[in-house]
């Protein structure tokens, strides 16, 4: 018989309303479906039974058959603990409970045979197991059990309220008994036979009650493939719907602005990668669908020039363009970088940030609405309701992971108004969107998180760029490092010295920075040396003043916290020293290193640390000294930190996977995407008889799991 998997968990025998409440709150289990998808974290071999006299002090999970011969309560600082004496004919040990004593006392009987299971710890010459799983021997022999015992995710609250691993296993057994172990197939027959996948029912049974290690691994492969296959299917369908439904502004021509710039004013030859990306953008803009493209490129790979040339395409077609950056420093830098190019082409460009004066704002608002202003650069200030464009055709977002989904959708509504049938419902046609990031996103993540965006990558540096030499030095080498700094300054170069900033301890960070500043000021005395200092507690105007002194070359050393991580461009700065480098994440180290190496001179990055380093810190430092390739660094970062941290999962919503792991199961992910694409290429609407099962599963997923409304 088949049961309805959407039935609330309260109705399953052995659950009841109070357990159901706990399962909902603690593990997010609302329905039978959620329970069946609660996959074990790990498995324990329960074929072996130990004798007490065989136990070793290695703290392993053991299973022992014996009898409880008595109980005692022992007072301790806080409350009491319950101790049971347990023996099996070869020796005596103790079972200990710190919580739930009353319930345990009522349930367990002396001189009855039990099977106990848990971690055995040696203490005072005697072994004990704290909070063991205890099961009557006769029940143990009757149960639907496998040699490999599943261990389910749990929480302290569940353990305290008596919902142990054994109780979860029992509830799971009940569900399998009620359903007769029959579950609806979710993958088409031809795909299953091509990939030799076992059936859905067999996979679910063997993941919860594995008959053998081989069947367990086939079950896991099948379920991981299915999970990743449907994620990819949904992302690809979403991308296709986007392209067919959301009309874009037609950019029909490449005109004078673009051609003049390309032929006469381009400051250097474009790299092959830049040309390829421009072609991809050009095709999107001319396709009648809204462009939704992610442009990835390492620090210094020349994304800004690609962005500018894309803006010129908008201007050539009579539209305005804007570029939004997450910080004022970065906006100002983009603005200054584009200003000269705009002057030469007679293009009007302005900047709008939080510190723009009211009188300036008024002018900008007016010039935007009447179409005189062609390009606007700015921060979040661009999103304000007062900011209205006459006809915004292209919006570029820099370092988009710093902007929330709601902020991005505000930008959508700034497009020109049009006949309602071709637009966004409220009469606006959304502008084309180009999202730029210098944080390389590993391919695995890009496929899962940004699978609905088209992705362009600039994967080569402009010619003439020398790669930055990176070394790791311990604090004891500081004098040598200072000598090296003096040599570089004597050649006319500038130096950054960066201190970590960890939000929770601003006082401590400020102290570190000030101590560091003082010791540098002693070693690099005025008037021979000038030092700038920049940190988060300064007023924006003071920060800007210090930055400008460094940019103009009036100071040779910039001592800073990580405020300089994004977007300070000083081609003459050739040395980046990162203090307490072990306190930074990999992507941050890589971003900071990208502040140097912007001129023609050889640049250096020196990672300073103490001697005590964790294994992860060592891996990070080794990776930095070994490679300058942002994508390789991002892959290591992903392995070390996990996907949630890198993306800020709360925004992506996608990485809440039940059984697959996008890092370890990268190969399965590639397969899944390939097969999902294949099926949609041959049968875009999933109308073929073979694909009915895919269509039904897809409908079910989108109906009960509204988890795909994220990103762009």
Q: State how far the Cα of 11 lies from the Cα of 367, in Å rounded to an integer.
A: 64
Which tens digit of pLDDT belongs to each residue from 78-91?
778 899 999 998 99
Burial bucket for residue 681 (CB in 10 Å: 0-12, 13-18, 19+): exposed
Alpha-carbon gap, residue 172 to 382, rounded angstroms: 53
Report residue 240 as tokens. 């296709």
642 pLDDT exceeds 70?
A: no
pLDDT band at 419 (very low <50, low <70, confident <90, very high): very low
CA angle 204, 209, 212 (to 5 degrees): 105
Mean pLDDT of all residues in 537-560: 87
pLDDT higher at 308 or 466: 308
User: Would the pLDDT of 407 be above 50?
Assistant: yes
In terms of pLDDT, which residue wins out, 638 or 527?
A: 527
The residues spanned by each domain of the chain are 47-144, 256-458, 469-627
What pLDDT band is residue 449 in, cutting at 50, 70 and 90? low
Sign (positive/negative) of CA torsion 133, 138, 143, 145?
A: positive
Q: Is the pLDDT of residue 649 over 50?
A: no
| pLDDT confidence tier of residue 405, bands split at 50, 70 and 90 | low
Q: 633: closest CA among 503, 470, 451, 399?
A: 470
How far apart CA 411 and CA 382 sit, in angstroms, is: 8
196-205: buried (b, 16+ CB within 10 Å) or exposed (e) per residue? ebbebbbbbb
> Is there a shared CATH topology between the 256-458 domain and the 469-627 domain?
yes
Highest averaged pLDDT of the listed ranges 234-243, 540-549, 618-627:
618-627
Over the range 30-39, which residues count as b (16 or more CB within 10 Å of their CB) and which as e?
bbbbbbbbbb
DSSP H helices in 478-531: 478-490, 506-523
The residue among 415 and 53 whose pLDDT is bigger is 53
Topology given in CATH for the domain delimited by 47-144? OB fold (Dihydrolipoamide Acetyltransferase, E2P) (2.40.50)
Longest CA pairwise span in the chain (Å): 96
Q: How confident is the model at residue 257 (pLDDT cuts 50, 70, 90)?
A: very high
Lowest mean pLDDT among 179-193, 318-332, 505-519: 505-519
Position 656 scores a pLDDT of 65
What tens digit of pLDDT does each residue of 103-146 get? 888 888 888 999 998 888 888 778 999 888 888 888 887 775 66
Per-residue pLDDT band for 557 (boundaries 50, 70, 90) equals very high
Q: Residue 72's beta-bridge partner residues?
A: 83
Q: How confident is the model at residue 192 (pLDDT cuts 50, 70, 90)?
A: very high
pLDDT band for 651, please (50, 70, 90 cuts): very low
The residue length of the chain stands at 712
What would the mean pLDDT of 557-568 be, rounded to a whole number?
70
Q: Given phi > 0 = left and psi -120 to 50 = alpha, else beta, which region is 79? A: left
Mean pLDDT, rounded, for 14-38: 91
Count CA atoms within 13 Å of residue 627 on its CB side: 14
Q: Any idea what DSSP says for residue 434?
A: E
Overall average pLDDT of the 410-426 stretch: 60
- Which residue is associated with the tokens 């039974």? 49
Q: Is the pLDDT of residue 418 over 70?
A: no
Q: How far is CA 433 from the centre of its chain?
A: 22
The DSSP annotation for 385-417 comes to TT---SSEEEEEEESGGGS-HHHHHHHHTTSPB
**pLDDT tens by residue, 374-393:** 999 999 889 888 899 999 99
Asked whether the bond before 527 is cis by omega within 30 degrees of 0, the reply is yes
Q: With 70 as the cut, is the pLDDT of residue 444 above it?
A: no
Separation CA 566–CA 326 (nearest Å): 9
Mean pLDDT of 175-190: 91
Per-residue pLDDT band for 149 (boundaries 50, 70, 90) equals: confident
Note whether 84 and 95 are within 8 A (CB).
Answer: yes
C-alpha to C-alpha distances, 23 to 5, 19, 674, 707, nearest whole angstrom: 16, 6, 36, 21
- Give phi and psi for 657, each to the nearest 5: -85, 150
| Residue 313: per-residue pLDDT | 96
Handedness of CA 348, 351, 356, 358 (dihedral sign): positive
Distance between CA atoms of residues 474 and 561, nearest Å: 20
Which residue in 707, 704, 329 sits closest to 544, CA to CA?
329
For the CA atoms of 396, 400, 403, 407, the dihedral, rounded to the nearest 10 degrees, stands at 30
- Residue 320's nearest CA partner among 349, 287, 340 is 349
CA 285 to each of CA 90, 289, 592, 649: distance values in angstroms, whole numbers, following the listed order: 80, 8, 34, 30
What pLDDT score was predicted for residue 471? 95
Give CA–CA dist 548/121, Å, rounded.
Answer: 63
The pLDDT assigned to 708 comes to: 36
Please give, one letter per residue, the 3-state secondary structure of 270-287: CCHHHHHHHHHHHHHHCC
CA–CA distance, 29 with 20 (Å, rounded to integer):
8
Lookup: tokens for 272: 């092959």
What's the pLDDT score for residue 145?
Answer: 61
**Tokens coding 74:** 């022992």
CB 61 within 8 A of CB 45: no
The CATH number assigned to the domain with range 256-458 reads 3.40.50.300
* CATH-assigned architecture of domain 469-627: 3-Layer(aba) Sandwich (3.40)
Average confidence (pLDDT) over 488-495: 94
pLDDT (average), residues 7-36 = 91
**Share above pLDDT 70 across residues of the chain, in percent, rounded to a whole number:** 89
Q: What rounded mean pLDDT belongs to the chain?
A: 84
Supply the pLDDT for residue 351: 95
Higher-scoring residue by pLDDT: 536, 161: 161
Look at phi and psi of residue 554 and say left if phi exceeds 0, alpha if psi is from -120 to 50, else beta: alpha
Of the pLDDT bands very low, low, confident and very high (cuts 50, 70, 90), residue 653 is very low
* pLDDT at 650 (0 to 100): 36
pLDDT (tens digit, 9 = 90+) per residue, 296-355? 887 777 888 999 999 999 999 999 999 998 888 788 888 988 998 899 899 999 999 988
Q: Cα–chain-centroid distance for residue 585?
A: 13
């Amino acid at each position: 018989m088949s049961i309805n998997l959407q039935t609330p968990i309260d109705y399953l025998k052995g659950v009841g309303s109070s357990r159901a409440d706990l399962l909902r709150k603690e593990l997010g289990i609302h329905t039978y479906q959620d329970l069946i998808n609660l996959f074990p974290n790990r498995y324990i071999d329960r074929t072996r039974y130990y004798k007490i006299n065989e136990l070793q002090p290695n703290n392993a999970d053991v299973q022992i058959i014996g009898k409880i011969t008595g109980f005692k309560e022992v007072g301790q600082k806080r409350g009491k603990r319950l101790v049971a004496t347990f023996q099996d004919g070869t020796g005596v040990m103790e079972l200990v409970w710190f919580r739930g004593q009353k319930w345990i006392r009522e349930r367990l009987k002396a001189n009855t045979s039990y099977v106990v299971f848990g971690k055995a710890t040696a203490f005072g010459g005697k072994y004990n197991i704290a909070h063991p799983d205890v099961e009557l021997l006769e029940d143990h022999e009757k149960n639907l059990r496998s040699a490999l015992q599943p261990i389910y995710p749990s929480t302290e609250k569940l353990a305290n309220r008596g919902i142990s691993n054994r109780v979860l296993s029992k509830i799971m057994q009940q569900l399998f008994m009620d359903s007769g172990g029959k579950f609806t197939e979710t993958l088409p027959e031809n795909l299953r036979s091509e990939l030799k996948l076992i059936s859905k029912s067999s996979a679910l049974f063997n993941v919860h009650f594995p008959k053998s290690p081989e069947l367990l691994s086939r079950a896991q492969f099948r379920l991981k493939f299915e999970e990743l296959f449907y994620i990819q299917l949904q992302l690809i369908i979403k991308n296709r719907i986007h392209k067919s439904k959301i009309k874009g502004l037609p950019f029909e021509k490449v005109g004078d602005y673009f051609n003049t710039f390309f032929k006469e004013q381009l400051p250097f030859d474009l790299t092959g990668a830049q040309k390829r990306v421009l072609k991809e953008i050009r095709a999107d803009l001319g396709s009648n669908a809204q462009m939704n493209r992610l442009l990835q490129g390492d620090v210094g790979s020349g994304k800004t020039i690609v962005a500018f040339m894309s803006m010129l395409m908008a201007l050539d077609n009579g539209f305005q363009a804007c570029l939004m950056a997450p910080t004022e420093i970065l906006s100002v830098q983009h603005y200054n970088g584009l200003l000269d190019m705009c002057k030469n082409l007679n293009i009007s460009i302005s900047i709008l940030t939080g510190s723009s004066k009211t009188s300036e704002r008024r002018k900008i608002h007016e010039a935007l609405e009447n179409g005189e202003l062609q390009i606007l650069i700015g921060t979040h200030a661009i999103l304000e309701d007062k900011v209205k464009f006459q006809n915004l055709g292209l919006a570029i977002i820099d370092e988009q992971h710093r902007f929330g989904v709601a902020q991005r959708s505000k930008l959508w509504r700034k497009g020109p108004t049009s006949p309602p049938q071709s637009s966004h419902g409220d009469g606006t046609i959304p502008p084309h969107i180009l999202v730029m990031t210098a944080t390389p996103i590993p391919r695995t993540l890009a496929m899962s998180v940004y699978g609905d965006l088209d992705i362009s990558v600039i994967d080569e540096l402009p010619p003439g760029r020398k790669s930055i030499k990176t070394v790791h030095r311990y604090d004891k080498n500081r004098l040598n490092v200072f000598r090296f700094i003096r040599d570089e300054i004597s050649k006319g170069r500038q130096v950054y010295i960066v201190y970590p900033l960890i939000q929770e301890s601003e006082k401590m960070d400020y102290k570190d920075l000030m101590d560091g500043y003082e010791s540098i000021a002693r070693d690099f005395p005025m008037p021979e040396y000038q030092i700038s200092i920049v940190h988060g507690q300064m007023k924006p105007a003071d920060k800007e003043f210090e930055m400008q002194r460094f940019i103009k070359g009036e100071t040779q050393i910039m001592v800073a916290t990580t405020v300089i991580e994004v977007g300070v461009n000083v081609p003459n700065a050739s040395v980046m020293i990162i203090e307490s480098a072990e306190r930074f994440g990999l992507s941050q180290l890589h971003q900071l290193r990208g502040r140097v190496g912007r001129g023609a001179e050889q640049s250096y990055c020196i990672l300073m640390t103490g001697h005590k380093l964790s294994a992860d810190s060592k891996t990070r430092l080794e990776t930095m000294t070994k490679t300058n390739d942002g994508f390789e660094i991002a892959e290591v970062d992903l392995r070390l930190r996990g996907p949630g941290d890198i993306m800020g999962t709360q925004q992506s919503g996608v990485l809440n996977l039940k059984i697959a792991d996008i890092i370890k199961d990268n190969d399965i992910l590639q397969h899944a995407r390939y097969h999902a694409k294949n099926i949609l290429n041959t049968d875009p609407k999933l109308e073929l008889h073979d694909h009915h099962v895919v269509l039904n599963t897809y409908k079910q997923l989108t109906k009960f799991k509204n988890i795909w409304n994220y990103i762009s």
